Structures are given as structure tokens and as C-alpha cells.
Structure 1
Amino acid sequence: MAECISIEREPKTAIAAALPLLAQGAAIAIPTETVYGLAADATNPQAITRIYETKGRPRFNPLICHMADLAMAERHARFDPLSRTLAERFWPGPLTLILPLQDGSPIHPLATAGLDTVGVRCPRGFAGQLIAAFGQPLAAPSANTSGRISPTSATHVEADLGDKIPLILDGGTAGVGVESTIVKVENGAVHLLRPGGLAAEEIEACLGLSLIRPEKAGAIIEAPGMLASHYAPDAPVRLNALEIHAGEAAILFGRDTPAGLDKAHFIRNLSPEGKLAEAAAALFQTMKEADASGAARIAFVPIPMQGLGEAINDRIERAAAPRA
């Protein structure tokens, strides 16, 4: 089983334990502000292969490469003016930029799925400190079996991957609770590839431009989280439920009460006060609890599409998609 070290109680011990494992090409679990990541050296093909093998992840699905700061990111990716504006405004934070690779960057093609672009972001807090100490970018998709519910605590990681990895760094519950927002600038237009922990409206306000959203059906896989079926529990998921059926897990939002709630097998409210940030932070934990409850189906009531609601609805839609 994986060793688990609290970064709050033992930050120096955590870094000291992580660095030699990363140097040896191991994949370890680290906390970020979004979700827990399965991190390995982005320049080492054996290390990246361990990520794919541990997750059971399709190799055509690229990995985000996490950087210590903008200066490190500039050594590996070429920034256009709009992307630089976003990086300076929102890093460190839950924003990933898809950028052309710098000539000579040692990031391995396995991390980019063979594309000539790379997804980069600078995480807040401990993850950034670890990357700075390591001196190389870390490829770090979510620390879970591919396609399943993303982990927001060390306990989630241990339950899923604890017998497959050597180390879990415990940073408590992830504050944002959903993965980063992913955008790509192309020909002066800004494309939203994946809604996430940074609201699209904030990006639009920063740039004074509207984001272009892709059609989900048949979209080219340019970034993580674009597979149609993703973030999936074992139980089937039902969207925009106005009535709860017998035996279902009811996932509520705000003060509205759907009809048939007395028939529910399990009830949770993502945010009784209707706060989208609170709902985003609670989403994956609530899905895990609902899935573990033995409910026949998980039913989500409607959630507003503005702000972080766009990311929440994206994750629920992918959880509800037909399984491959």
C-alpha cells in the first residue's frame, strides 16, 4: 500500500519523500487546489507510461503538464499575447492553457499524445513548491482510475489507487473540487475546451472577448476531460431531474425540493444556499457517497449554467454519458 504523508504536519518530509521517487520515474499522488493529481516527470517516458498504466488511461488523451511558475512554463511552451495575459492574471490557479511546444522542450511526446501543443498550468500551494524543488514539469492527471469520479481527498486516492502507487501526499480536501478550466487561443479567438474551476465569465471579463465553445459530439481530443464518458460512478446518472423516482439517490441544489423526494434512497444537497462554488467543491465527494449508497440511479436536479455551474453541468453530463 502507498505511504501517506500529511503535508500540513510534515511538509519537509513530504518533499524529501517525493523527490527521489519522482527522479526514479515513479507516479505519486499529490494534492492541488482542484483535485488530487497522479504526478510523474513529464520528461521521462517511463514515468509517463506509469501514469497511463496506473490509471488505465487511453494514450490518445493528453496530460496537463504542471509548472512551478510562468518562467518554467515559458521554457516549455510559446505564449501568444492573449495566453500570456491569462497566465499573468490567473496563475497560480485552476486554469490550463493549450500552447505550442517550445523547440527543444524535453517534455516527452507521450505526455502530449503526440500533439505539437501542450497543456500547461501553475497550481497553487504545495504542488507548485514540489515542482520547483524537482526542477522539471510534472504531468499530473487526476489520481483515479480513468473515467471514474475524480478524487478530492487523499482517502479517495487511497481507496482507488493505494495498492498501485508508492506515495500519497495528503493535503486535506481540495478547495476548488473540479478540474481546471482549459482554454486554447487560436487565430485570435479563445476556445473553451473544458469548463472547470475558473468561471468562463472571469476569462471573458479579463480579455474582453467571448469564449468559443466546441460541439461535444465528435470534438477532437485536444485536452484532458474531453472524452464523452468521464467522471463516471458505477450507478447510472440522470440529469435535470424534476421528480425523484423510488430507489434513486437525489442530489439537490438550493432550496427547491423536487417531487417524490420521500422515495429517495439517499439525499444530499450540494449547496443548500445555492452557492455554485460550494457545489463544485462538494460535487465529486457527493457522487462517491451516492454511488456507495446502493442507489439504483443518481438523479441530479437542475443546476444553473452560469459561473461554475457550467463546469458542474459538464461533469454531470459526462458522468451520465453512455459508457464505452
Structure 2
Amino acid sequence: MTTTTRTAYGPLGWGSFEDLPTGRTLVMGVLNVTPDSFSDGGEHAGHEAAIAHGLRLLAEGADVLDVGGESTRPGSERITPAEEQRRILPVVEALAAAGAVLSVDTLHAATAAAVLDAGAHLVNDVSGLSVTPEMVELVAERQAPYVLTHARGTPATMDGLADYDDVVDDVLAELETLRDRLVGAGLAPERIVLDPGLGFAKRGAQNWALLRALPRFTATGHRVLVGASRKRFLGALLETDGTARPAAGRDAATAAVGALAAHAGAWAVRVHDVRASADAVAVAHAWLGTEPAVLRPGAARAAAAGGGAR
């Protein structure tokens, strides 16, 4: 098993994409700086609240923070890149200064450029088949780590685009076509992270089929991100008397998915409740016998202060 030796630490986070630990599944904490998120209802829409929540997620064990300024829930409406940047740039700057490894969830090349300049490390683009030439050119030019998500249509139309001959075969084929487009533009293959796009133009059973097929995604040689947190298919699984479990009641199921995803070799799980999923991932690696002793950035900093290595 590979481990990573730390040479420098930010106040709270790993500091850079290259310094992220290897040998275990990472935990990506969701930080929505939006007034209309399906999962938290805009609790962290203000800059100060968002920064405070990001610091809290880091303290709870997040390896990466995924900052989003535009909701991608089904039926949500688009905002301008200028508004998106107004929401997130101060948050990105503050959390980057705290040493956080930052992913930014954006469809817009202009926003991706701005957040990379402000200290972000990854671009998490859920546009899928609609990825723009400008985004492809940007990430290739910057060699920015790029999360390539499978999606069809827009949040307003994707629910009607979930027809597949075979959901696993089709999603893999569409991702590989997009991957080839990125590589052809010059982006190094090792900078590409694949995301099957759970919930994006996927019906309930299709999401489960994709999760069962995670080894086929990891077999591509790319890192794989799993984003199941609080999504509708979990609420449907946990329904009572025909009523889906509300988003806030899906964290235990999310943590279970995280443990299974870690067992299947996922690079990272994207979650709202960081502490529960960090614990679940730790259990999965202990079960596999692959988890290094140091689990989280805070513990690694303590080891470094005492001369230890990761």
C-alpha cells in the first residue's frame, strides 16, 4: 500500500492536490453557497456562514471541499457566471488560505478560471455531454485536475433523458468519449477523475446498477468519485408509507454507500455529513486491512509536528 509523506501543512488542510493522501478513499465535503440547495436549503449561502461551515467540515475530517455556487438539483434554474463568482470567490480565497484542497462545482469556464486563480485545485464539472469547448481548453491549458461527470441535458431536462440500452455500458462509453476529448485537447489522463453521475439523468434502479459496477469504472485507470449523498434514490429506498425519506434523514444510508464505495476502490466520496462518512470509510479500510494509521489531516499534522510521517 502506498502512503504519502507530508512535508508542509496548511492550518487545516492538505494544502495541495498532490499532497492528498493515497492508499485510502478520500472524503470530499459538500459546501453549497446557494440559496436553493436540495440538501441544506441555503443554510450556508452567506460568505461568513460558508467559510465557517467549510472550516467545520475540515475539522470533521474532509480531505477536499467541493464549493458550489449554483444548484444542480432537478428543475433548478441557471445563474450567470458573474453571480456564481460573487457567491463563491471570497469563500474559495479564505479556505485556500486555510490550506484546504478545494474543488469547485461549476459548469462555466469563466468561473473555473477565476477559482483556479483564487486558489482552487480541482474543477468539478457536472455538465457531462454538454461540456463546452471553453472548459475543455481551459483545463487542458491549466492542467487542472478535472472531475468528468456523466450527465445528460440540464437540471431542467435531465429527468427525461434517462433511457439507456444498458446503463453501465452506456455511461462508461459516454464518459470514455468525453475523456478522449479531454486527452486529445492535451489534459494529462492522470488529471481526470470519473464520476458516474448518480442522479443525473438516472432513475433509482440505474443508480444502484452503477454503484454495483464501480469496479468497471476503477478498471479504466482513472480515479473515481462517488456522489450519492442525500440523493433521491436513497430517499426512495428509505420511504415510509409511500413517502420518501427527506434529504436530512439520508446520512446513514450515504455513509453506508461510502463504506461500500471505499471497499470497491473509489478515490473519493462526496458527502454532506463528513464525520459519519469519514468513519464509514475508515471502517471499510480497516476491514480490508489497507488503512494507514493516520486517517485525517489533523492527525497527520500532529504526526509531522512530532517528526512522524504519513
* TM-score, reference length from structure 2: 0.28
More helix by share: 2
Larger Rg: 1
More strand by share: 1
* TM-score, reference length from structure 1: 0.27
